[in-house]
Amino acid sequence: MADETPRNAAPEGKAADHNRKEKGFAHLLAASRYSLQGFLRLCGESAFRHELLGFFAGLALFAVTGASFGEYLTFAILMLLLFSVEAINTAVEELVDRISPEISTVGRNAKDLGSFSVFCLLVANGLFVAYTVFF
């Protein structure tokens, strides 16, 4: 018999480590490592870097205008939501590019919908900052 490895067996190397289910504290460490890897991957996206810049600019603007703790907290939560949606949008784009490298209506729609979700949160953040600074 040429190959007796089961079809659903995990491949060797890093992918096999990634598929192994950790328990307890090891699970927490593994999840933290995966999150850090995701953050570092997202740092490769110029849109995310612009959003990070906007976050720090917003914090500076809030400091200048004397924003309350609640306003800082709301802004931080809105920005974390934006970062999360940006990460999901990037994941969708990568999957579409991997699964369907040719131009397709379905792939374009998936990417457009992800982009729209990011846009909605950008608008929400912008409206909140404008309200906090000017009113």
Q: 4, 12, 71, 86: which is the annotated catalytic residue? A: 86
Radius of gyration of the chain (CA): 20
**Which helix (H) or strand (E) element contains residue 101?**
none
86 is catalytic: yes
State how far the Cα of 28 lies from the Cα of 15, in Å rounded to an integer: 18
What is the secondary structure of 33-77 as a DSSP string? HHHHHHHHHHTT-HHHHHHHHHHHHHHHHHHHHT--HHHHHHHHH
Give Cα 75 distance to the centre of its chain. Answer: 17
- For the annotated catalytic residues, the residue numbers are 86
